[in-house]
Chain A
Amino acid sequence: MIEAVGLTKRYGDKTAVYNLSFQVRPGSVTGFLGPNGSGKSTTMRMILGLDNPSAGQVTIGGYPYRRLPNAPRQVGALLDAKAVHGGRHARNHLLCLAQLSGIPARRVDEVLGVVGLQDVAKKRSKGFSLGMGQRLGIAAALLGDPQVLLFDEPVNGLDPEGILWVRNLMKSLAAEGRTVFVSSHLMSEMAVTADHLIVIGRGQLLADMSVRDFISHNSADFARVRTPGTDPAQREKLTAALTEAGGQVLPEQDGGLRVTGLPLPRISDLAHEADVRLWELSPHQASLEEAYMRMTQGAVDYRSTTDQRAGLQQQLPPGAVPPPQMPVPGQGQPGWYAPPSPQHGGQPFAMPQGQPPAGPYGAPGVPGAGVPNPYAQPAQPAPAQPAQPAPAPSPAASAQPSSAAPDLTKPEDAR
């Protein structure tokens, strides 16, 4: 059990952690999330007594870390995989840590086996890869067979097998009744590993709740609606109809609409009433990543900008079309995180819109396009003509029909 009360850390006039209070309970994996520079590592260091808090306190099992009688037997920590003397053998590194807390030397060989480093036990850790360093750090954390475990970015640099191993390790450690506190940036990993989440941003607590609650509280499931790209009027017509019915409509960069506040059948009905054809009506379930992005978007300190290459680009010859910029989710859309569309470039169907003629991508694209189609089928209320007219204006259409068009008409005919 880790308990922080009013934890605050200032470095000069920069406040890294401010008034942080949380509890990490035994028996479950608690994820610790936050953007870069949000104070995760500082908090971890304060838990371990490496940094002294400016205010507040953090205790483990009721004691501040530095008052614990034999700390490594109660708390194991992986802070930084490279926090080892590179000139020392892996085994000697663990041995000196074991001796420091009165752990028998044979336990060193045990943990080396647990993390799979027994073959390089006599190798100097300088030559270790990042993944091997992580394993050595995990071995050091497990050395004391402690009740409380802290891991800062444990899967950094691990191979897929290692990631799976760490995931299972965390879960099994928690299942034994230990307290497991893990920080990570890999949302997909956290979604399957953690039971509980503590999210901080700019050093302050943003959320302290179970993963399921976190996702449902911090994400609005939405429907993606797409009207025929050939007719912008239809899109405006539908937007008006949906807004009138109480839905929120946000345009996406690639011409789709993001609708919240209306169930899918209702959107379909409204479109039918407005006599608007739909090319896509898909439910979109938020992931942990989206929920996290939505929550922390205001607390991100280090945000990337588009690389403009200003002044370095050559003047385009007159009449030339500048290369299309791929829309990047989250960029240029302050305050609104846009998840990527189901397909790259946001084309739900393999529509030949100015694509190169059916090259190697044309044919395989079509079976793939069948995946979003099931959503589209019930979504099309208007028994309008098949999609044939759509490719027609495209200059590449003449090359396409052989591969794309026949396949496309099949599902459309089924309506």
Chain B
Amino acid sequence: MSTPQPQTHQQAAPAPNWQSAPGTSYTSPIPITRTHLGHALTSEWTKIKSVRSTMWTLGVFLLLVVGIGLLVAANTDSNDYADVPYTIPAFFGLILGQICLITLGVLVVSSEYGTGMIRTTFTASPQRHRVLTAKLLIFFVVAFVVSAFAIGFVGLITSGMHGGASDNKWGGTVLMGALYVSLLGVLALAVGSMLRHSAGAITAMLGLVLVPAILPAFLMMSESLRTLGEKMTEYNAPNALAKIFELDSENGGGGSQLVLLVGVTAAAIAGAYALLERRDV
């Protein structure tokens, strides 16, 4: 620790204070700890907070959800909230904001492949599954906390502006909405880990989110594909969010859509783990 100053000229042997006596084998005086998931979690936390893409994507996400939410809240009156929750203004922002979380989810893993950092990471932790687990957990927590905060903040402001009109419980929509967009991000992370290419994975995820919202319009024209089109309409991501925010309250609260997303995400994560251990990096 006292070494940096004398080391500036780099002529001598490095850092004499931790060298031991020469012998056939070298033993480091720094105690060796047994590594576990906790180490990977702190490392991934350092990683996610030390790149600008995190700040940018989350900043834009907050701006969209809170900004659009407050605009909507300001342009509605109390009667509009008679049978919808106060978090409804956040829904409009989330439709756009989910793309930010998808981007961040992909970048958390694919930026390492793009820069070659992944080789450094997997050299530092040959237990690759541990790295992916840490990435998934850290990203999920970050995305969930940020989106829950954004939705809850919009809900609080809206209920303050239009208080008393609705006795709907809106706490559930905060948790469900945050869970849904965070899971979309986690799915993006798993897809990014499988495709290992930022642009490819982001495009794939945008397709996954947007195509089922657009395609039914064409599928409905054909009689035989009508049922498929109806299912797509029911389960596509923007519609699932709409159900979670009770815009379409007669068809349930988006529970089945959330379950579907959990299933798809779990399958993608399983695929990511399977490929991770097998492939060369």
A110 and B11 form a contact (CB under 8 A) = no
Chain A residues contacting B3 (CB-CB under 8 Å) are 110, 113-114
List residues of A (83-136) whose CB comes within 8 Å of B's CBs.
Answer: 83-89, 92, 95-97, 99-104, 106-107, 109-110, 112-116, 118
CA distance A340 to B210 in the complex (A): 66
Q: Which of A27, A65, A103 contacts B126 (CB 8 A)?
A: A65
**B131: nearest chain-A partner, CB-CB:** A100
Q: Which of A45, A72, A99, A114 contacts B7 (CB 8 A)?
A: A114
A107 and B30 form a contact (CB under 8 A) = yes
**A162: nearest chain-B partner, CB-CB:** B10
B121 and A100 form a contact (CB under 8 A) = yes
The verdict on B27 contacting chain A, using a C-beta distance below 8 Å, is yes
The segment from A140-148, A191-199, A210-218 that touches chain B is A140-148
A100 and B124 form a contact (CB under 8 A) = yes
The verdict on A273 contacting chain B, using a C-beta distance below 8 Å, is no
The verdict on A301 contacting chain B, using a C-beta distance below 8 Å, is no
A101 and B39 form a contact (CB under 8 A) = yes
Which of A73, A92, A177 has the most C-beta atoms of chain B within 10 angstroms of its own C-beta?
A177
Cβ contacts B1-41/A at 8 Å (1 or 0 each):
10111011111111100111011111111101111000110
CA distance A48 to B47 in the complex (A): 22
The verdict on A55 contacting chain B, using a C-beta distance below 8 Å, is no
The segment from B110-118, B158-166, B195-203, B223-231 that touches chain A is B110-118
Cβ contacts B27-60/A at 8 Å (1 or 0 each):
1111011110001101110110011110000000
B1 and A161 form a contact (CB under 8 A) = no
A106 to chain B, nearest CB (A): 5
A111 to chain B, nearest CB (A): 8
Residues of B in contact, count (CB < 8 Å) = 59
Chain B residues contacting A82 (CB-CB under 8 Å) are 115-116
CA distance A69 to B56 in the complex (A): 37
A50 and B280 form a contact (CB under 8 A) = yes
The verdict on A236 contacting chain B, using a C-beta distance below 8 Å, is no
The verdict on A71 contacting chain B, using a C-beta distance below 8 Å, is yes
The DSSP consensus for interface residues of chain B is: loop
**A27: nearest chain-B partner, CB-CB:** B24
The segment from A165-173, A314-322, A374-382, A396-404 that touches chain B is A165-173
B272 to chain A, nearest CB (A): 18
A130 to chain B, nearest CB (A): 14
Known A99-B42, A113-B3, A168-B11; contact A88-B51, beta-carbon cutoff 8 A: yes
CA distance A51 to B128 in the complex (A): 13
CA distance A49 to B111 in the complex (A): 21
A84 and B116 form a contact (CB under 8 A) = yes
Chain B residues contacting A85 (CB-CB under 8 Å) are 47, 51, 111-112, 115, 117
The verdict on A79 contacting chain B, using a C-beta distance below 8 Å, is yes
Known A49-B126, A165-B10; contact A99-B39, beta-carbon cutoff 8 A: yes
CA distance A92 to B50 in the complex (A): 7
List residues of A (53-75) whose CB comes within 8 Å of B's CBs.
Answer: 65-66, 68-73, 75
Chain A residues contacting B11 (CB-CB under 8 Å) are 164-165, 168
CA distance A265 to B123 in the complex (A): 58
The verdict on B78 contacting chain A, using a C-beta distance below 8 Å, is no
Q: Which of B1, B15, B27, B34 contacts A70 (CB 8 A)?
A: B34
Q: Which of A50, A95, A161 contacts B123 (CB 8 A)?
A: A50
Which of A51, A99, A169 has the most C-beta atoms of chain B within 10 angstroms of its own C-beta?
A99
Q: Which of A48, A100, A110, A176 contacts B35 (CB 8 A)?
A: A100
Known A26-B26, A118-B4, A176-B26; contact A100-B280, beta-carbon cutoff 8 A: no
**B54: nearest chain-A partner, CB-CB:** A87
Chain B residues contacting A100 (CB-CB under 8 Å) are 35, 39-40, 43, 121, 124-125, 131
B18 and A145 form a contact (CB under 8 A) = yes
A87 and B52 form a contact (CB under 8 A) = yes
The verdict on A257 contacting chain B, using a C-beta distance below 8 Å, is no
B200 to chain A, nearest CB (A): 19
Chain B residues contacting A116 (CB-CB under 8 Å) are 7-10
Q: Which of A27, A52, A92, A95 contacts B280 (CB 8 A)?
A: A52
A161 and B24 form a contact (CB under 8 A) = no
The verdict on B222 contacting chain A, using a C-beta distance below 8 Å, is no
B3 to chain A, nearest CB (A): 5
List residues of B (97-112) whose CB comes within 8 Å of A's CBs.
Answer: 111-112
B22 and A147 form a contact (CB under 8 A) = no
The verdict on B221 contacting chain A, using a C-beta distance below 8 Å, is no
A124 to chain B, nearest CB (A): 9
Known A50-B281, A142-B14; contact A72-B123, beta-carbon cutoff 8 A: yes
The verdict on A175 contacting chain B, using a C-beta distance below 8 Å, is yes
B33 and A97 form a contact (CB under 8 A) = no
B46 and A99 form a contact (CB under 8 A) = yes
**B15: nearest chain-A partner, CB-CB:** A114
A115 and B119 form a contact (CB under 8 A) = no
Which of B24, B39, B51, B120 has the most C-beta atoms of chain A within 10 angstroms of its own C-beta?
B120
Q: Which of A52, A88, A144 contacts B28 (CB 8 A)?
A: A144
A178 and B26 form a contact (CB under 8 A) = yes
User: Could you pull out 17 A-B pairs where Cβ atoms are within 8 angstroms?
Assistant: A52-B280, A65-B126, A66-B126, A70-B32, A83-B118, A85-B47, A88-B47, A88-B50, A88-B51, A96-B47, A102-B32, A110-B3, A114-B3, A114-B14, A144-B28, A146-B28, A165-B11
The 4 closest A-B pairs by CB, nearest first: A113-B4, A172-B13, A102-B33, A83-B116
